[in-house]
Structure 1
Amino acid sequence: MYAVWFVFEKNDAEYFTNIIQELSTKYNSQSFKPHITAYGLVDVDLEKLDKIVTNSIQGQKSFVIEKSKISYSDVFWKTLFVEFKPNEQLIRINKKLTEPLEYFSKYEFIPHASLIYKKMNQDEQQKLANSISIKDHFKVTGMWIQKFHEDIDKWNIVKKYAFS
């Protein structure tokens, strides 16, 4: 099983990494690499997925995305997250990924970057969402293919793509 991620430029990745590590230390949870899942999880051959991703981002330049809000849910993988306003690039790339991949699995694309993965009660999540401050703009500079594992420590990046 694989996930396709949008990834941030170095400074923005470090910005998110610091928040993720601070929260994972405070709440005794696992740390992870900051990302926006463009499509996941899909059970497809890596070689085939590589071609699909390559075709989906051909000629793509880096682009800026804007924060919409900080939110939370009762879904483990969306415990606390930054939601982003969909823009032309996010929508176009997701559409190009969806056309060949929806045959293998459906994925509802709501652009967001998780800040923590942990079972938390709603009051705790709401308090955290209200207390955290996140800047407004981030630069997306590439995509990665991640080999998924239930254990976050065993997540493995198997392909990296840089936008021009």
Structure 2
Amino acid sequence: MTYSIWLEPSAKDKKYLQNIIYDLAKQYKAPQFTPHITLYSGINNARLTRKAVYDCRHITKMKVRVTGIRHSGYIWKTLYFDVGTSKKLAELNRILAKRLGKHAKYRFRPHISLIYKKLPNATRRQIAKEITLKNTLEFAKISIIKSSNVVRNWTPIMKISLK
């Protein structure tokens, strides 16, 4: 069992993303999950993870720019919104890497997954064409998730609201 640190959307944008995730999960018999941007993952130390999130307490809510919809054969990036890196996202990653860098190797590539399921390339392409993109989304919380390779076992253990 490892820990991940997520950036979660504000209520309005969470609803928009959750509807997409729910509809895709239902249609393709895939697991449901909370919309998020993974800030850091693969952390083995819960105490250190909490300290890293505490280091981010001064960060304010942020808007992120959605730069497109992409897909791949990699299950954790089956279909996702690509997100542009901003000063605030880079700052968050820098703060976390400073505290966690030697304890977990994580390459930060901000994105918002929409489904976790092995799907044929043609299916992924078709779904991508049908989804309506929002240009920007607001993110308002940082959370710690007890994570594993089984999505339904993901458990939130801490959340902080951004200012």
Length-normalised TM-score, structure 1: 0.95
* Residue of structure 2 in register with 1:121 after alignment: 120
1:52 maps onto 2:52 in alignment? yes
Q: Is the 8 A contact 2:48 2:100 kept in 1?
A: no
* Residue of structure 2 in register with 1:87 after alignment: 86
3-state SS of the aligned residue for 1:34?
Answer: coil
Aligned runs of 1:21-36 on 2, under 5 Å? 21-36=22-37
1:135 maps onto 2:134 in alignment? yes
Q: 1: distance between equivalents of 2:149 and 2:58?
A: 33
Q: CA RMSD in A?
A: 1.0
Task: For structure 1, list consecutive stretches of 5 or more residues without a partner in the other structure.
Answer: none
- Deviation digits for residues 2-35 of structure 1 (CA, Å, limit 9, x no counterpart): 0000000001111111000000111111111100
Task: For structure 2, list consecutive stretches of 5 or more residues without a partner in the other structure.
Answer: none
3-state SS of the aligned residue for 2:141?
Answer: strand
1:4 maps onto 2:5 in alignment? yes
| Offset, 1:105 | 2.0
Q: Could you tell which deviates more after superposition, 111-120 or 91-100?
A: 91-100
* Segments of 4+ moved more than 4 angstroms: none
1:20 maps onto 2:21 in alignment? yes
* Residue of structure 1 in register with 2:66 after alignment: 67
How many residue pairs get aligned? The number is 162
Q: Is the 8 A contact 2:62 2:88 kept in 1?
A: yes
Length-normalised TM-score, structure 2: 0.95
Q: 2: distance between equivalents of 1:98 and 1:75?
A: 24
- Deviation digits for residues 49-92 of structure 1 (CA, Å, limit 9, x no counterpart): 1111111x132111111101100111111100001110000001
* Residue of structure 2 in register with 1:40 after alignment: 41
Q: 2: distance between equivalents of 1:38 and 1:118?
A: 21
| Offset, 1:99 | 2.0
3-state SS of the aligned residue for 1:143?
Answer: strand
